[in-house]
Amino acid sequence: MSYPWGFGTELMIKKIFYGWWVVLACLIINLYVSSILFFGFTALIDPLIQDFGWSYTQISFAVSLRGMEMGIFAPLIGFLADRYGARKLILAGVLAVGLGLILFSRIESLLMFYGVVLILGFGAGGCTTVVTTTVVANWFKKNLGKALGLMSTGFGASGLLIPLIVWLIDAFQWRTTLLLLGVGFLILGIPLLLVIRDKPEDYGLLPDGEPGLPASPQEARRPEKTPIRFWEALRHRSFLYLNLAEVVRMMLVSAVVTHSMPYLNNLGISRASAALVVAGIPLSSIIGRLGYGWLADRFPKREVLALAFGAMGLGMLAFSYAAIPAMILLFLFFFPPSFGGSMVLRGAILREYFGRDYLGKMLGIVMGSAAMGGIVGPTLAGWVFDSTGSYQILWLAFAGAISLTVLMVLKVRP
């Protein structure tokens, strides 16, 4: 019987369960990709406008285009992850992101910009959220909340890289920065594939490193009992509520993350100070990813998710008045931890209510629904600013919308 890295069963169980190494590898991939394509993208908006003269709406549409593509392909990616495993998808994703960033450094037109964004969206979809959540959920059950929380801190820790990205852009221009980031991801991403394994059963192990291993990997690989059939799950009312809640959540998050730096700059906050606030968004989300993950293993997950959405509403209300310094602190206290925690809870609820066998498919569908909000959010925010010269009315509307989802989430049942 063979095991990852050649470790034997005794070492795997008594020292460090191999699932935690899988979590670490997924964490690093999430960190790198999200620091550039999600949280750090806002640092590219003003340099692109200065070089090409594009409007906020035109650039925001690229973010929406990326979200639309990821939404369309998310169900397919989830199906492929369940059918063929995560490693092949992550390899394709790493290559697409690395080469896409290199191509990004060579764009000369708006059409080329949109084309590169599509490549990057495909790559990000193949090596982050749906795939990494699916593979981690394969390795854990009782400790799934903590495992997903730790894995998703990669998104939060990406805030550490945002000031570096801003500094690189200011010091070496955006083209050189993107070239370096693309090459760096190829160098880093390929070795991480050697760590990731699809399922513990393939190595004669059980989720969470549970004792009582079966006699062979073939015996371990028997399907886990699934509480509901796939097509029944798709028609389940709770699944519908989760999808609708994700649309609203992603609409807010994508708009805030994309427009946070231009918004703060237009309030008179310097680019360097705004970069610190932007970096604080993913960094402070780490608290929520770990905290809500811990709560999810101890309390009803739907109630914890409702708490997260309510806190997001308070955060958006504070962000609407970010010209007041204290409001920025309140925003960082409420919004990032709660949206980070909601990402953890999404996968944990699906795993608990609907089982593991088609988690990738269901998570892909939820991500596809969320992408619809991701399409609307950035473009709507850009249009509102181009039309009114202010973001405030939209932030207030978002605060009300996310607060209403609390009632929806509380209706979620197995």
So where are the chain's domains?
A: 9-206+214-409
| Tokens found for residue 379 | 């473009």
Closest Cα partner for 320 from 384, 390, 372, 368? 390
Closest Cα partner for 124 from 96, 161, 104, 99? 96
**pLDDT value for 379:** 84
Q: How far apart are CA 209 and CA 19, in angstroms?
A: 8
- Mean pLDDT confidence for 152-179: 86
User: Does position 55 have pLDDT exceeding 70, yes or no?
Assistant: yes
Q: How far apart are CA 371 and CA 363, in angstroms?
A: 12
CB 404 within 8 A of CB 312: no
CB 77 within 8 A of CB 124: no
**pLDDT value for 73:** 77
CB 340 within 8 A of CB 286: yes
Per-residue pLDDT of 248-293, as tens digits, reads: 998 998 899 888 888 998 898 887 888 888 888 888 888 888 888 8
pTM to 2 decimal places? 0.70
User: Does position 242 have pLDDT exceeding 90, yes or no?
Assistant: no
Q: How far is CA 255 from the centre of its chain?
A: 14
Distances from the Cα of 397 to the Cαs of 344, 346, 347, 373, 381, in angstroms?
A: 25, 24, 27, 14, 11
User: Does position 228 have pLDDT exceeding 70, yes or no?
Assistant: no
| Tokens found for residue 191 | 């070795």
Closest Cα partner for 362 from 229, 207, 222, 245? 229
Q: How far is CA 63 from the centre of its chain?
A: 14
Confidence tier at 103 by pLDDT (50, 70, 90): very high
Burial class (CB in 10 A: 0-12, 13-18, 19+), 400: exposed
- Mean pLDDT confidence for 50-68: 82
Name, in order, each residue with C-beta under 8 angstroms of 195's C-beta and a sequence gap of 6 or more: 4, 21, 22, 24, 25
Q: Which amino acid is at 249?
A: R
Q: Please calculate the CA angle 396-401-407 and round it to the nearest 5 degrees.
A: 140
Burial class (CB in 10 A: 0-12, 13-18, 19+), 29: buried
For the chain, what is the largest distance between any 2 Cα atoms, rounded to a whole number of angstroms? Answer: 67
Q: How far apart are CA 160 and CA 302, in angstroms?
A: 31
Per-residue pLDDT of 303-351, as tens digits, reads: 898 999 999 999 999 999 999 999 999 999 999 999 888 888 887 888 7
DSSP state of 224: P
- Mean pLDDT confidence for 376-395: 89
User: Does position 12 have pLDDT exceeding 50, yes or no?
Assistant: no
Per-residue pLDDT of 18-34, as tens digits, reads: 889 999 999 999 999 98
User: Does position 201 have pLDDT exceeding 90, yes or no?
Assistant: no
Please tell me whether residue 226 adopts helix, strand or coil conformation: coil
**pLDDT value for 42:** 78
DSSP secondary structure, 117-133, as one string = HHHHHHHHHHHSHHHHH
Name, in order, each residue with C-beta under 8 angstroms of 189's C-beta and a sequence gap of 6 or more: 29, 32, 90, 94, 97, 98, 127
Per-residue pLDDT of 127-136, as tens digits, reads: 888 888 888 9
- Mean pLDDT confidence for 112-123: 91
Q: Which amino acid is at 245?
A: A
> For 9-206+214-409, which CATH superfamily applies?
MFS general substrate transporter like domains (1.20.1250.20)
Q: How far apart are CA 52 and CA 46, in angstroms?
A: 10
Q: How far apart are CA 4 and CA 140, in angstroms?
A: 16
| Tokens found for residue 67 | 């979200």
DSSP state of 223: P
